[in-house]
Structure 1
Amino acid sequence: MEQAGKAAWQWADRMGLQLSPAGERRMVRTRPELWISLIFPAAEQEQLDRMCQWLFWAFLVDDEFDDGPGGRDPYRCRRAIGQLIDVHDGAVPRSPVERALTDLLVRTCVGRDMGWNRQFRADNAAWLWTYVAETAQRAADQLPDLMTYAGHRRDSVAMQPFLNLHETVAGIRLTEAERCLPGYGKMRQAVTDHSGLLNDICSLEKEMALGYSHNAVLLIQQERGCGLQEAMDETGTLLEGVAQRLRHGERELAEQMNAAHMAGPARTALDTCIRDYRSMVRGDFDYHLAAERYTRPDLADSGGQQTMSALFTGTVP
């Protein structure tokens, strides 16, 4: 874990990701190396380093468009996110964040099959577009209803790209035939929904201070007309239900594999997902109870910028 953290900061320096003092404090308190180590405890060091760099990059994007100025200007947000997706599709990078993305894509996607690359691109794009959706709603002084938010949060928590990255760490390959199994889909949704609800609970103090309302607790409070504690309790009940959905998905997938007489690499790959997805949920839970980003949020370091970070603008030689 310590080596992965050092490697992430060295990589950021090579990519020109020069953070402001406040940005450095946020990243230190975020501890991306802790989350990666908890959800990928069996990863080789090179894999752990690369996954930590992915998370470092993702947190830079999240801090810019959730807490920072990028999420307050719909035009700039749409343009910046569109450029990141263009880079995902092979466009020449023009900013440090785009350059870092290109580096990660080359080191991650080369050698993966077309189906995996298609899924990874779709999940990354779905995550990135959620920033545009939220920025537009904030500008219009709107909030989603709870049902709409549940689907939005499944993308915005950014767990689905890391479920794809899990395949590279675990050394497995899922075909479209495996991905279409209902039990696998239920497991995947449960993992992402659990992470989104847990993050909403643990981010509540910071997000309330910033006036950021895309949070399940706050939406429940508004929709139900109840107190904050009651909304927190209801969110906790929802979280427990999602954990049960994961267990149901595990059982259903095992039954579906048995019914289909599935064996060989396909069976091994799905059995690995059953084992590791539960471990990833547990690691995500432990991380949120340990990282200072959530246990002791430093509100003075958030939301004070007025213009988009230089990491998202400019030209990279």
Structure 2
Amino acid sequence: MVLKVDHQPCDETKPILDLSSASDIEEADLKIQEACNNITSSMNADPLTIEKPAVALDLFSTAVKVRNVPLAKQCIEILNNHLNKRNVLLILHHLSKCKTQDPDPYDVEPSAPPIVDHDNQRTEDWVQDLIDNLRNNCLLEIDKNADYVLKQKDILELDYNDMLSITTRDTLQVSTEVLVYSAIMRWCIEECRRRTLHTQKINLKAVLRDLVYAPRYGLMTKNEFLCRTIDGVKGPDRSGILDENETEKILLHIKKRGKSRPAPELPYKGSLPRKVGHEKPWVFHSGVTRDSACSAKSTCDKFIINFLTCWTAIFD
């Protein structure tokens, strides 16, 4: 079932989405659940195929909200199969929003019993496992393509925890720690703008928190550490995020690096080289039987996906 979404005005869906009361919203929820069930029932004969990760992410959110485990798994498999260095930040950002919403988007209504799948695992557990496993694959993809990913503008949209997870990884295959420093500083300035804070030293340090020590300064050259600007931001010793004592220790370590009696190791892994990781990506199979002969593209299919995408955008 190849579903292509044309982002055009959804005239057909307007009456459904014109909600003015609680009963209207409840009715829309039932229609969404029915639409998801229709997709799920057709997947065995004609597996779902979505070309754009953004659409798969929206459909995954919808599947979770209506507690449709098979459809959620299928969306995650699609995302996993299409994961690459160009879309990894988009996927990671969306997964983190799913994970940190309050109240818990996967909380089951008290009046409804929890859905339990074949191996007696609650739906909420399945959802969290799906998110955690795909998120781990995102981090592995970033490890392999660190130089490319750290330069992307999309990295500025991540939340603090994702930035910390990426930049502190021992397995991040970055060619120079200057790229890590540039990424955290550009993110910090953008975060200050989001919070309407002036980019003063006190605010930079408060926003960065542990990100101050994400770059491994002891691995930089002296010129890199002392440079005036990096990608439009002040260099490490000029930005004010390190105090004078920390700067002196870093410069001493750089000066004695490689000598017979090197300086003591820096805290926060500041002088520990990163290494290539050997963790294998998680491989997911939704269990849907694939039939290469099935490739129907019906108007109904397109309508369902357009409807689900519009609904998610409005009620997310």
Task: Give the TM-score taking structure 1 as reference length.
Answer: 0.26
TM-score if structure 2 supplies the norm length? Answer: 0.26
Q: When you count helix as a share of all residues, which structure comes out higher? A: 1
Q: Quick one: higher RCO (CA 8 Å, sep 6+), 1 or 2? A: 1
- Based on CA coordinates, which of the two structures has the bigger radius of gyration? 2
